[in-house]
Amino acid sequence: MRVGVFQFAPVFGAIETNLKRVEEALSQVEADLFVLPELFNSGYQFASQEEVAQLSEEIPGGLTTERLSRLAADRKMVIVAGMPEYDPAQDKYYNAAVVVGPNGYMGKYRKIHLYYKENLWFSLGDSGFLVVEMASGVRIGVMICFDWFFPESARSLALQGAQIICHPTNLVLPYCQQAMLTRSLENAVISITANRVGKEQRDKDNEELAFTGQSQVVDVQGRVLLRLSETEERVAVVEVDPASALEKKLNVYNHLFNNRRPEHYRSMFPK
């Protein structure tokens, strides 16, 4: 199975420009699964709720889901992409990720752990962690950026059967890429972290954000199969073995899931 990332610097507010860049970048690649950064179509640093409203779309039903679905059908691949969502039924905005495949819309995930000023603009994700099955039978899960800081995110996805964690990010802290080696190892899952590069500073009320790149693919033993640089804009594809994520046994005595002792974890689940 071939999986890929497109690491680039989205232009803030320029949905059409960012969509065209993705369409162009993916037009020649052969892959089964592609992951794009968090908020890839809008950019990251919002300066007002009006901007959030202008740049958010319904999922499905909006332009970005439609264009990505067409691309997924053309390229015969599944695409996971971060984007701002507007839910008219709730009149709420979410930092979301859409999953589309050759047959169209497959699902969406709304970020559960919001980072820093995202809390000003978005509602807390209410949809739970998402796992969907590809036509090949491979199960993929989705979490977004800061979700990595909570090991419960990757664990929840793994317990729900995800073999590959698709992880759109806009990382500004330097820790995540190394931490994801452990998230992969402790859950025996493949992880694909698709980060962005470049800088954003929208106005003087907001500090400059420098995104850390280093998009990567990690195998079930925590080995880095692919890692891009901190600055390059690039498409990259690597071969992974999704069957390796079905084996949760370490040896005849130890099993990653069955050896857990939840009766001793009660402080994690306050009433």
| Residues making contact with ligand ACM (CB under 6 A) | 38, 115, 145-146, 170-172
β-pairing verdict for 33-35 and 2-7: parallel
Instruction: Please tell me the distance from the alpha carbon of residue 54 to that of residue 157, in angstroms, as a whole number.
Output: 32
Q: How far is the CB of 31 from ligand ACM (least distance, A)?
A: 24
Write the DSSP string, 193-243: EE---SEE--STTS--EE-----EEE-TTS-EEEE--SS--EEEEEE--GG
Task: Please name the helix (run of DSSP H) or strand (run of DSSP E) that holds residue 49, with its range, or none.
Answer: helix 49-55
Q: How far is the CB of 169 from ligand ACM (least distance, A)?
A: 6
Q: How far is the CB of 163 from ligand ACM (least distance, A)?
A: 24
> Which residues are annotated as catalytic?
38, 111, 145
Give strand ranges (E) for 111-157: 130-133, 139-142
Q: How far is the CB of 115 from ligand ACM (least distance, A)?
A: 3
Give the residue with the Cβ less far from ligand ACM, 86 or 115. Answer: 115
- Residue 222 gets the label, from left (phi > 0), alpha (psi -120 to 50) or beta, of left
Give the residue with the Cβ less far from ligand ACM, 32 or 85. Answer: 85
Give the residue with the Cβ less far from ligand ACM, 112 or 134. Answer: 112
Give the residue with the Cβ less far from ligand ACM, 209 or 256. Answer: 209
